[in-house]
């Protein structure tokens, strides 16, 4: 039977060969919502207004695998290093954006533990890392070729041994798509947290970052299919590139950063992670890739929350102290307080940008 190419494409879109995958449903900043692109139909009106670059479709290749970890182009934005999105999302420095993922398949649709997502399919994998990187677009993100960009890490989360997956999501993952490990006890993978939170991930734009256009490289790294001799095995990287127009910025430029093809080794510990192995110890999971930008990490160390602050001058302090904040819960860790950040200016900053601890 002869099939036209478009018919085949439609079938592939509707029935992916491999369970899983997905894409960005929408990105929000404050009261602004911007829809992710329709990856399967370029005529969708959302595609003329989106700030998110098109990812791989759910059919092959679907995600980036270890053999391509050294490929700057694929690793920067999957297939979209040279295919910008048409718009940028305006966001103030110090504000956060929320990225909502959508599964390409319905295994978790309406299931317990998925944060009440019912309008579309939730993200389907629960074991894996989440990373957020940023680069300057050197001007206009809608014309930016990110192939050789240097990326700076804003956040990286693996498995949090101080938390446990919800009993509901653990049960939901029991049969499909894959059973959750560790099978018992503590260990909350960042990806499970994302699913429990309604397939949502929050990214904080550093308050000290200079105004200008930047692109976020938001990456989900699913680890449910450990590497074997099969080149299609190993961690699956899902990379969403989101174009931002940062306003009300500070005085910090990004460092040079790391090219996407140099973030992870094709045969390093990350490529070879095996969460099912008897020798796997979730307490010893190494954080893949370069360190978090010190502009961000010094605040994490001081306050135990994943937002940033820069050392503030007296004028800013005075400005914040007039905002009448009476609802702060800052808990600066005294032992780790290795910077000039004080409890007071952390509290002031948090009040200033409206961030709650989580
Ligand atoms: Cu998948």
Collapsed DSSP state (helix, strand, coil) of residue 346? helix
d(CA 320, CA 249): 16
| Distance in Å, CA 58 to ligand 1 centroid | 8
CA of 24 to the centre of ligand 1 (A): 14
pLDDT at 118 over 60: yes
CA–centroid distance, residue 270 to ligand 1 (Å): 18
Would you call 21 helix, strand, or coil by DSSP?
A: coil
Proportion of the chain above pLDDT 70, given as a percent:
78
**What digits encode the pLDDT tens for the residues 227-249?**
999 999 999 999 999 999 999 99
- 257 CA to centre of ligand 1 in angstroms: 29
pLDDT of residue 175: 72
Over the chain, what is the mean pLDDT? 83
Going from the N-terminus, what domains does the chain have, and what CATH number goes with each?
17-292 (2.70.50.70), 299-353 (no CATH)
Give the distance (Å) from ligand 1 centre to CA of residue 107: 11
pLDDT for residue 5: 44
Q: What is the pLDDT of residues 119-139, one digit of tens each?
A: 999 999 999 999 999 999 999
- How far is ligand 1, taken at its centre, from the CA of residue 173, in Å? 13
Q: How far apart are CA 198 and CA 122, in angstroms?
A: 7
CA 17 to centroid of ligand 1, rounded, Å? 10
108 alpha carbon – ligand 1 mean position (Å): 12
Average pLDDT over residues 204-215: 97
- Distance between Cα 123 and ligand 1 center (Å): 9
Residue 135: cis peptide before it, omega within 30 degrees of 0? no
Q: What is the pLDDT of residues 285-339, one digit of tens each?
A: 989 999 999 999 776 555 444 433 333 333 333 333 333 333 332 333 322 332 3
pTM of this prediction? 0.80
CA 104 / ligand 1 centre spacing (Å): 8
Record the tokens describing residue 97, joined without a space. Answer: 């954006």
> Do the beta carbons of residue 250 and residue 110 sit within 8 Å?
no
């Amino acid at each position: 039977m002869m099939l036209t190419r478009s018919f085949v494409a439609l079938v592939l879109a509707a029935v992916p060969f491999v369970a899983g995958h997905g894409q960005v449903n929408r990105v929000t900043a404050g009261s602004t919502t911007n829809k992710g692109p329709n990856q399967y139909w370029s005529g969708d009106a959302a595609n003329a207004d989106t700030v998110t670059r098109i990812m791989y479709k759910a059919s092959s290749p679907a995600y980036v695998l270890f053999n391509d970890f050294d490929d700057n182009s694929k690793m920067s934005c999957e297939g979209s290093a040279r295919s910008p999105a048409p718009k940028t999302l305006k966001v103030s420095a110090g504000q956060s954006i929320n990225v909502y993922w959508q599964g390409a398949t319905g295994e978790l649709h309406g299931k317990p533990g998925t944060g009440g997502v019912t309008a579309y399919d939730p993200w389907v994998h629960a074991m894996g890392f989440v990373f957020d990187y940023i680069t300057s677009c050197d001007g206009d993100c809608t014309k930016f070729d990110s192939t050789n960009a240097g990326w700076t890490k804003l956040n990286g989360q693996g498995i949090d041994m101080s938390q446990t997956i919800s009993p509901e999501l653990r049960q939901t993952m029991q049969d499909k798509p894959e059973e959750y490990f560790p099978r018992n006890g503590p260990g909350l993978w960042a990806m499970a947290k994302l699913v429990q939170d309604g397939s949502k991930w929050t990214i904080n734009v550093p308050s000290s970052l200079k105004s200008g256009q930047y692109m976020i490289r938001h990456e989900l790294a699913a680890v449910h299919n450990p590497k074997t001799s099969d080149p299609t095995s190993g961690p699956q990287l899902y990379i969403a590139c989101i174009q931002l127009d940062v306003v009300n910025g500070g005085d910090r430029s990004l460092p040079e950063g790391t090219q996407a093809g140099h973030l992870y080794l094709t045969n390093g510990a990350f490529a070879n992670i095996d969460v099912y192995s008897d020798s796997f110890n979730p307490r010893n999971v190494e954080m893949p890739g370069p360190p978090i930008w010190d502009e961000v990490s010094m605040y994490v160390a001081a306050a135990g929350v994943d937002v940033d602050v820069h050392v503030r001058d007296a004028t800013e302090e005075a400005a914040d102290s007039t905002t009448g904040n009476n609802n702060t819960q800052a808990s600066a860790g005294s032992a780790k307080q290795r910077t000039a950040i004080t409890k007071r200016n952390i509290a002031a900053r948090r009040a200033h940008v409206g961030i709650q601890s989580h």
